[in-house]
Amino acid sequence: MIKKTVLIACALLVVIAGGAFGFGQIEMTAPDAVSEQYSYDGDVVAGRSVSLIVGGGGSGVNRSYSIGFSSGTSGDPENRRLYSSDGTSIPYEILDSVVGGNQLKDLDDGGPVLSGTIPSGGTATESFDVRVFGGAVPSPGIYTDEVTLTAYNFNNATQAQVTLSIAVNVPANISLALSSNNLDLGDLVENATGSVRVTVTSNADYGIELSSPYNNWRMAHEDQTLVSFVPYSLRLDAVTLDLSSNPTLVPGFGSTSSAGREHQLEIIVGSTDDAVSGYHSDVIDITVTANQ
């Protein structure tokens, strides 16, 4: 009996994408930190970009990739927030572009993500926008967040991670509006009154300073050759002010909502016994200062 043996052999080629078997690891640069000042007039948009390359052993083949964005401190990629040290927050978004308007997320959050191909021997660059919503009146301070960017290869294996830091400075902001810049008290009669509505919008505690720079809390005759003055007193929000100093300061008002806070400034005419007939007037300066 003749016996023959046949040897059967085959080679199993195992290719690991992104590993050390000629496919190379995808690498990603960290984007520049976002450092902006808050805007009360509109949104702040900061454009950023990241570059990707294939590491050692990666030449000769194009590499597909995607880039996901973690949800940051808020834990919700559709409700990203920047936080200050006291826990207050302002909203922002990370977008593929302001025009496109797609909010970027991580793969685990279902995307959308940035994606593309690294050409053989080259690099790829992806751009995105950070938009901070303005127009509100947040408290002064530095508002921050950090987002992790993860680069994935074509089969969604993690290849690289970098951090995007975002910091927005919210300065003290205050505005002042008067219901009228001219108050006509009519006939000059003792105890006659008139009032002006003072509306303040402030994101910080503030004080109101009033001064009579020309006549020291008196109305003077229009004919400057005549010595004729009529004193007056002031009430702010129904509280009589101490006019022994000029200017006089009323402190201790807290921050307001975006609609502002209204104060009522009332002028009460004093004694007219020594006044000469004719038109009398004075100028009151109102200054509002935020305390940051």
Is it the case that residue 260 has pLDDT exceeding 80? yes
| Phi/psi at 107 (5° precision) | -60, -40
Q: The domain 174-291 belongs to what CATH superfamily?
A: Fimbrial-type adhesion domain (2.60.40.1090)
Instruction: Give pLDDT, residue 258.
Output: 82
Instruction: Give pLDDT, residue 188.
Output: 87
The mean per-residue pLDDT over the stretch 208-213 comes to 97
Is it the case that residue 16 has pLDDT exceeding 80? no
Element of type H or E holding 173:
none
The count of other CB atoms within 10 Å of the CB of residue 197 is 12
Sequence-distant (≥ 6) Cβ neighbours of residue 180 within 8 angstroms? 196
Beta strands in the chain (DSSP E): 26-28, 34-37, 44-54, 63-69, 80-83, 89-95, 114-118, 123-132, 141-152, 158-170, 174-178, 193-202, 205-211, 218-221, 229-236, 239-240, 248-253, 261-269, 280-281, 285-291
Closest CA to 272 of 199, 186, 145: 186
Instruction: State the CATH architecture for 26-170.
Output: Sandwich (2.60)
The mean per-residue pLDDT over the stretch 58-84 comes to 92
**pLDDT, tens digit, 9 for 90 and up, residues 108-167:** 999 999 999 999 889 999 999 999 999 888 999 999 999 999 999 999 999 999 999 999
8 A C-beta contact, residue 26 and residue 118: yes
The mean per-residue pLDDT over the stretch 24-31 comes to 94
| Beta-bridge partner residues of 162 | 149
Instruction: Give pLDDT, residue 219.
Output: 97
Same fold for the domain at 26-170 and the one at 174-291? yes
Is it the case that residue 20 has pLDDT exceeding 70? no
User: What is the spatial distance between Cα 37 and Cα 90, in angstroms, rounded to a whole number?
Assistant: 13
Q: What is the mean pLDDT of the chain?
A: 90
Q: How far apart are the first and last CA of the chain?
A: 104
Q: Model confidence at 6, in pLDDT bands (50, 70, 90)?
A: very low
User: What is the spatial distance between Cα 217 and Cα 210, in angstroms, rounded to a whole number?
Assistant: 10
User: What is the spatial distance between Cα 154 and Cα 16, in angstroms, rounded to a whole number?
Assistant: 11
The count of other CB atoms within 10 Å of the CB of residue 256 is 19
Tokens standing for residue 5: 């043996």
Instruction: Give pLDDT, residue 44.
Output: 96
Is it the case that residue 3 has pLDDT exceeding 60? no
Domain boundaries, the chain: 26-170, 174-291
What is this structure's pTM? 0.74
Tokens standing for residue 32: 């520049």
8 A C-beta contact, residue 24 and residue 54: yes
